[in-house]
Amino acid sequence: MKLQLVPARTGFTWVKLGVKTFLRQPLAMAGLFFMFMAAVSLLSVVPLIGSAVSLALVPAATLGLMAATREATEGRFPMPVTLITAFRSGAARAQPMLILGGLYALSLLMVLALGSLFSDPQAMPVDLANNEVTPEMMSAALFSPGLWVAMLLYVPVLMAFWHAPALVHWHGVSPAKSLFFSLAACWGNRGAMFFYGIGWVGVFLLGGMALSLLGAMLGGAQAMQLILYPAVLLMAAMFHTSIYFSFRDSFSSGDNAGLPTTQDGDAS
C-alpha cells in the first residue's frame, strides 16, 4: 500500500462520482444509509451506553457504505448485508474495527466535552412554551464559541478517521497505524480534500435552494417540514457515497490496482 497524491481538482471529481454513483443505485444507497441512521437512532435512546455505542459503530457503517459504493461501481446491486461488511470476515477483521470504533467514540466525546467548556448554557434562549427552534436560538448556537472550538477540534479527528475504516478492513492495517496513514493522506491531498468539501457545500446549497422553491410551490412552511428531513437524508446518503472515491484514489495496492481511478478519465 502506498499513498497517492492527486491534483486539487480531483476533489470536484469525487463529488461528481458520488452523485453519479448514487443516481445509478438510488434505492440501494439511500436504503442502506437510512438503515444506518435508524440503527443509530434506536441505539442512542438506550440509557447510559446508547450514544457511545452508536458512535462506536460509525466507522463500521462508513466501511459498509464504502463497500456498497464499490459494489455499485462494479455494476452490482448492494444488498442490505453490505452494511455489516466489517463483521462478515471473522474476528480478525471485526476486532480491529471495534477498536477503531471505540477510539472514534472516545475522540468525539472528548471533542464535545472540550467544546462545552467554552459554551454558556444560559446564553441560548429556549422557547419552552412552543417547544420550537427560534431564530434567536439558531443565532445563539451559530455564534457560540463552544461550537466553533468543537468544530476546529473535530477537523483532525475527521481526517484521522476518514480513510481508517477502509485501511483496517481492506488492507489489514492496525487501528493506530490506520489513523496515522489516514491523517497523512488527507494532509497530502489537502488541496483535493478542500475542493471536495467546497463541492459538497455547493451541492447542499443548491439542494437547499431547490427545496425552498419546491416548498413555496407546494404550500410554504408546512410543505417544507414534510420534505426537508427526507431530502437532507438523501443528500447525506449521496455524500457518503462519494467517500469511497477519495479513498480509492489516495492509496494504491494490489487490492485496488484493477479498479479504475479518476486518473483514468473520471471512470466510476
Query: Does residue 266 sit within a domain?
Result: no
C-alpha span between 237 and 26 (Å, rounded): 9
Q: Does the pLDDT at position 266 exceed 70?
A: no
Query: Does residue 62 sit within a domain?
Result: yes
**49-83: b (≥16 Cβ within 10 Å) or e:** eebbbbbbbbbbbbbbbbbbbbbbbeeeebeeebb
Asked whether 210 and 232 are in contact (CB, 8 A), the reply is no
Q: What is the CA radius of gyration of the chain?
A: 19
Query: Does residue 173 sit within a domain?
Result: yes
Cell of 102: 471505540
Range with lowest mean pLDDT among 22-26, 36-40, 135-139, 226-230? 135-139
Pairing verdict, β 251-252 and 2-3: antiparallel
What integer pLDDT is reported at residue 257 of this predicted model?
42
**pLDDT tens digits for range 44-76:** 888 878 888 999 999 999 999 999 999 999 989
User: 3 φ, ψ to 5°?
Assistant: -70, 135
Query: Does residue 72 sit within a domain?
Result: yes
Query: Does residue 17 sit within a domain?
Result: yes
| In the chain, beta strands by DSSP E | 2-3, 251-252
User: 139 φ, ψ to 5°?
Assistant: -65, -45
What integer pLDDT is reported at residue 135 of this predicted model?
55
Q: Does the pLDDT at position 267 exceed 50?
A: no
Q: Does the pLDDT at position 250 exceed 80?
A: yes
Query: Does residue 2 sit within a domain?
Result: no
**pLDDT tens digits for range 136-186:** 555 555 667 778 888 999 999 999 999 999 999 999 999 999 999 999 999
Cell of 236: 447525506
Query: Does residue 164 sit within a domain?
Result: yes
Asked whether 266 and 18 are in contact (CB, 8 A), the reply is no
Percentage of the chain lying above the pLDDT 90 cut: 60
Counting Cβ atoms within 10 Å, is residue 185 exposed (0-12), middle (13-18) or buried (19+)? buried
C-alpha span between 119 and 149 (Å, rounded): 9
Range with lowest mean pLDDT among 14-18, 85-89, 122-126, 251-255? 122-126
Asked whether 39 and 83 are in contact (CB, 8 A), the reply is no
Distances (CA, A) of 194 to 162, 188, 200, 250: 14, 11, 10, 14
Paired with 251 in beta bridges are 3
What integer pLDDT is reported at residue 254 of this predicted model?
57
**pLDDT tens digits for range 180-215:** 999 999 999 999 999 999 999 999 999 888 877 877
Asked whether 85 and 263 are in contact (CB, 8 A), the reply is no
Paired with 93 in beta bridges are none
pTM of the predicted structure, to 2 decimals: 0.84
Count: domains in the chain: 1
What integer pLDDT is reported at residue 223 of this predicted model?
63
Helix (H) or strand (E) holding 128: none
Question: Which domain, by its residues, includes 77?
Answer: 7-261
Query: Does residue 240 sit within a domain?
Result: yes
